[in-house]
Amino acid sequence: MPPKSSDFPHEDSDYQSGFGNHFSSEAIAGALPQGQNSPLICPLGLYAEQISGTSFTAPRNLNQRRYTPNISMDNCAFCNADGDFLIVPQMGRLWITTECGKLQVSPGEVVILPQGFRFSIALPDGPSRGYVAEVRMVLLLNGISLFPQLHLSGKLAQVTQSYKNLGANFLLLNKISRHSTWLLAWHGNYVPYKYDLSKFCPYNTVLVDHGDPSINTVLTAPTVKPGVA
């Protein structure tokens, strides 16, 4: 059944914000273990899971990871194992449900869905149009991005999960606990996020010289060739 307009929020303000920060969120208080990531017995009968956005040998200041005590999500989900998705809506809002929470993305905003994350997209305004790019390791260089919060509601349902790996798609049908998000809690810095392009403020120099072009960059996706993005 297609979603009704009443299924979507009127305001778009329930986010965490920051730049290069470490975030956490709980749908149920106490679901996130304190002081350690993988206790012998996780709270609420959950099991521990970590997803890494970088190699475990990467320097600590460059390490990207997200730890969660895990459950599962919605009737239909997609996961891209080949790279990050950069989505730029041009017409109509996107209501994106990710493992870490929900993101409402409007024209004039961009959203990053990291490699390996499951998500589903609903269209509150009907047909939508925009751009989707598959990139590697998108970096936010300027501005404050917004990160999702967890909220819980759900029931049991059959879930079809579609995976893209090495350019090929395959389906997996699971009967899992259907919730508004997959997780009850998470913490880390490898998380989907969105950015409002109207908050980006470029600058101009007119006295002697011009600044480095990177100062006018919002997002960059490095290539395999050093120094080229």
Contact criterion met (CB below 8 Å) for 163 and 115: no
Catalytic residues: 210
The amino acid at residue 141 is L
Tally of residues, the chain: 229
Edge-first strand listing for the sheet containing 109-113:
15-18, 145-148, 193-196, 109-113, 84-91, 129-135
Residue 213 — φ and ψ, nearest 5°? -55, -25
Q: How many CB atoms within 10 Å of residue 147? A: 20
Q: DSSP of 99-132, one letter per residue?
A: TTEEEEE-TTEEEEE-TT-EEEEE-TTSS-EEEE
Segments of the chain assigned E as strands:
15-18, 23-26, 47-52, 65-70, 76-80, 84-91, 94-98, 101-105, 109-113, 118-122, 129-135, 139-140, 145-148, 154-165, 168-179, 185-188, 193-196, 219-220
Assign 218 to helix, strand or coil. coil
